[in-house]
Each structure stands twice: as C-alpha cells, then as structure tokens.
Structure 1
Amino acid sequence: MKKRSGLYPRVRVEGGGRGVVSQAGSVLLVETVRKSGLDTAISAALTPWRKPRAVHDPSKILLDVALAVALGGDCLADVGMLRAEPDVFGPVASDPTVSRLLDALAVSGPKALAAIRAARSQARERVWEVAGASSPAADGQVTVYIDGVLVLAHSEKQDATATWKKTFGHHPLMGFVDHGSGGSGEPVVGLLRPGNAGSVRHEVAQFE
C-alpha cells in the first residue's frame, strides 16, 4: 500500500498483498531521506533553481539520481529503474529534465554546491541529535578517517586515467566519520582525483 507523503509515496508492506515490486529494499533509503528531513532541507535549498510552473521539484530529481546511484546506477539515464516503480518512488523526471537540472546546477557551481552541502549538514545535525548518546559527536569529539578509494570508469570520463592497480578510473580521497562500529563509517566528504593520483595511507583526524 502507498500514500503520498512529501516527495515520495509512503509504502507499507502487507503479507496478504498480490503486488510485487523490484528494488523494494530501496524503501529503507527513501525512509531515511524522510526521517532525516533531507527531502525538506534540500527542497528549500534548491528553491532558486525551481522554474515557475515546473512539474518536478529539483530536490526530488537530485534525490532520485542519488537513489539510482545507490542501487547500482552509473549514469543519469539509470533513474529509469526508479521510473519503472512509481508506487515506490512516485513521479520521476524524464532523462532530458534530469540533464537540464544537472546542467543548471553545474553552471551555478559553488553556489549550488553550498546549497546542497548546507541541506546535508542540516539533515546530519538532526540525525545526530536524535541519536543522542550513540551520536559520533556525543563526547564532544568527532573522528574522521581519511583514505583513498579506487572507482572504476568504463569510458573516458573527466580525469579518468589508468590506476596503480592496472585498472581505469578515478582515485578519490574520502573522509568517513567513525561511528565506533568497526566499519568504514559515515561518508562525509570526498575529493575527486584522477586514477593515477598517488595512494594515500590511512589517516585519522579528530575534531572537537
């Protein structure tokens, strides 16, 4: 069952239903967006990029692209997997509409990035407050692990080069906040680097 709430339908699972949808696990991601308030925060942040009489909210388009990437997509056209399940993801913009928004945000450059980062920061602050004693900043100190991660590319994308592992792609530098769980933590920052960028030994930074 579904009920429209915010940018995405609200989905409920029932044992006696007949309908089957693919990508059902992505409901967890959609609910994370909703519970964290990221949808409303980024919608407000991207208001300057919403054209009069626009059918699709820029924030919904951007979040749909992020969901597609999380589901394994590697190009803008992969939002089509969301478009195929309107009961789960609601209305999804066409490929040309997605491309036009990304072009508009790219033209704005630092202004658009600042707006998106502010929305993410607002959502993260809300989640950490809800986490209380389980928050990574509960003791007044945040630990960030900095490491390089190879990302493969299948075509001549910007800065994609041969890597030190004899593959082809990028070697971004990533920062992960330690949650004390022993895993890689919460990704909070990334710097895109060419594939031939030097390897980085595991670094730890602490902030108060």
Structure 2
Amino acid sequence: MGPPAVCHSRRKRLVGHAGAMLLHKIADRVGLTEAFGALWPTGQSTTWRDRAHVLVALATAIACGARSLLEAERLQAHQAALFGTAPSDSTTHRTLADLDKPMLARIAKTRARVRRHVWQLLHLRPGGFPWLTVAGKRLRGWIVIDIDATIITSASDKHGAVVTFKKTYGFHPLACWCANTQEALAMLLRSGNAGSNTVADHLRVLTDAPAQIPNSCQAKILVRVDGAGATHDLLTHLEGLNTTRRTVRYLVGWTITGLDEQAIAHLPARLAAHARHRHLRIERTWPSARAFVLAWQRLTDLPALTWEPDPTTTIQEGTSSGPVEPGAPAASRDGPPPPHRGHYGQTAEPLTQHSPLKNRG
C-alpha cells in the first residue's frame, strides 16, 4: 500500500483526491479486500496485479469521478505515492472480462458476508443503525429498499449504448439501493432502450437485493418504487415475499390522470356524507389515532351536500333501497345510523365512547 500517509499543511508532496485513501482503508479494515483476494489464485509473476486490489482501486476511481478505464488509470496514477503503481486500463479490462456468472455469484456472496459484518458494526456505534425517519416517524427495524432506473449517457459508440426514451444516447440500468445506508444492493446493466416498467427486470433485482440484506429471512422490508413499478406481476411478487418471519411492505407510484382528479374532487362530499352516518370508535394504542380523530372532525364539519338524491329512492349503506313516501320526514328517510364496523386492534380502551363525534346529518 506504499508508505504511511501523513496529514500536514505543507504545499509539497500533496496528493489529489485524498479522500480516496479513506475508501481504500475502509475496504481493508472491514475485510473486503482480503475476502476478494481469496476468490482468485495468487500470481507468481513479479508483474502480477492482485485482482482484489484492481477491483477496489476501480471502485475508488469511480467514486472519484472516473467515467472510463482510461480515466480510472489516470486518477490512480495521481495516488501512486499512496497505493503504488496504478493498474493499467488493459489490466482492469482483463479483470472485468474474466468475471463470468459463477465468479459474479461468488462476489455477491462475499459482498453479503462483508456487509453483515459492517452492519453489526453500525449497530454498535453510538448512533446505532441509521433507521429512516419518514413524516416525523422513525421506522425502527425497517430496511427500506429503493428501486429506480437511471440514464447514463455515452459520448461514443459502446456495446449496449443506444437512444434512450429521453432522446439521449447511452444506457438505462436498473438499480436497487438500501436507503438506510445508501448502499447499492443490486444493479442490472441494460441497454439504453430498455423499458422503465419491464417486470422481468424488476423481479431480477428484487431477487438479488434481499440476498444482500443480513438476516433477510426474518427482516422487515419496505420496498419503494416509482410509477414504473405499478404492474400486477411486481405487486404479486412483493406480496409473495411475506412469510411467517419476514414482513414485506411496498409503496408504488401512480400517475394521476384527469379521470382520477375527477374522482378525487368528489371524495370530500362522499366522505362527509359517510361521516355523518357513522359512529367512531378507535383504539388509543393506534399511533395515528389523534390525527385520525382530527381528520374525522374536519370531515363532519364540512357543509351539507349541494346535490339532492332522487326523491323516490334513497340508498344507504346497510339498508335496502326502495320507494319513499312523498313528504316523509327526513329522519324516516335516513333511518338510524348503522352500527360501527369493527375496531382497530383487539383489546384497548376506546378513544371515544360509543357515540358519534358530531352528527350534522
């Protein structure tokens, strides 16, 4: 690894991109470099370059901004005083070309084993594991996975580089990230014309990603996908990931159309009418009980509906519809409010007694 580095303020013998040293040191301290080194035989030649060092150096160069193997070699040449002679671009190319499917599978298992050790260290640090906070609520115990595709442009003609749906030229890989630690769990390299909502691609990254999560067989996982994930096959697959020990939940985007906006515009009136004829009883142990009661009160405070039902019929949940005598009082038309339908939870003291919060019907 070269001579030890020293931090000083002198203007001589300085190294650019000094943060690359931290990435190398982390890979060494957590055992990633050593674990990768066990995957390849040791070369006997004096010019042999350790394949594990080549991969770690390439990953560090990419983090520093390299966009090609030639740029990676030049960036590493700037740090020769720290890491020794940089691997040539041809050496890096041969290393990548030798990564067949069995070797990629072994690398994935090695990454998962090292990640388990790193996450154990994260749990032991003063701040603990980085659980996410969403809408003011800390999702303790939940591993959040984000799936999204991205466009990577190409300045020259390369294998797989074609015109993308954004009228650029390049690639369209699909990535799966752990939002807690900002780690790339799985990556599917795709050509630029690959579809955004291709179910087979989503299922492939969803198969590779859980294998990178420590103890995924008994974890609580939240999968977040944009509108490209709004497909029946993907949601069915996510539902099938639930077991007696593992809980999987998902959030999927949806593009709102004009028809959806019309339906949403009618929701307040429908909810207000529903609230006036319902009894409310929810449990104190529900974390969202206070917000739900406030929303319920606001619904019951909405003004009366502006439209009038058919004078000859009335439709009410829980009752049969039929002719109503002209001039009948409103109370007989509406009838008594139906009983409440179930509770949230099993046994807990109700937040409100068995009576409506406000009945303005």
| Structure 1 stretches lacking a partner, 5+ long | none
AA in 2 matched with 1:151:
I
> What is the CA–CA distance in structure 1 between the aligned matches of 2:170 and 2:189, rounded to whole Å?
11
Larger strand proportion, structure 1 or 2? 1
Offset at 1:89?
2.4
AA in 2 matched with 1:131:
L
Partner of 1:124: 115
Offset at 1:139?
5.7
Runs of 4 or more, structure 1, over 4 Å off, are 138-141, 203-207
TM-score (norm 1): 0.79
> What is the CA–CA distance in structure 1 between the aligned matches of 2:35 and 2:183, rounded to whole Å?
19
Partner of 1:66: 59
Partner of 1:91: 85
TM-score (norm 2): 0.48
Partner of 2:43: 51
Offset at 1:10?
4.5
Partner of 2:168: 167
Local SS of the residue matching 1:77 = helix
C-alpha RMSD of the superposition: 2.8
> What is the CA–CA distance in structure 2 between the aligned matches of 1:71 and 1:150, rounded to whole Å?
19
Q: Percent identity?
A: 29
Count of residue pairs brought into register by the alignment: 193
Residue 28 of structure 2 corresponds to residue 14 of structure 1: no
1:92-149 Cα deviation digits (max 9, x unpaired): 223333333333x24xx1121122212221221111010013156x965432111111
AA in 2 matched with 1:196:
N
**Native 8 Å contact 1:37 1:123 kept in 2:** yes
Matches within 5 A, 1:1-208: 4=1, 10-15=4-9, 18-45=12-39, 47-48=40-41, 50-53=42-45, 55-78=48-71, 79-103=73-97, 105-106=98-99, 109-132=100-123, 133-134=128-129, 141-179=142-180, 185-200=182-197, 202=226, 208=246
Q: 1:95 to 1:148 in 2, by over 3 A?
A: closer
Offset at 1:36?
2.3
> What is the CA–CA distance in structure 2 between the aligned matches of 1:175 and 1:190, rounded to whole Å?
6
| Structure 2 stretches lacking a partner, 5+ long | 132-138, 198-224, 230-234, 247-361
**Native 8 Å contact 1:175 1:188 kept in 2:** yes
> What is the CA–CA distance in structure 2 between the aligned matches of 1:65 and 1:189, rounded to whole Å?
18
> What is the CA–CA distance in structure 1 between the aligned matches of 2:172 and 2:194, rounded to whole Å?
6
Larger helix proportion, structure 1 or 2? 1
1:49-77 Cα deviation digits (max 9, x unpaired): x4333532111112112222222212222
**Native 8 Å contact 1:164 1:196 kept in 2:** yes
AA in 2 matched with 1:31:
K
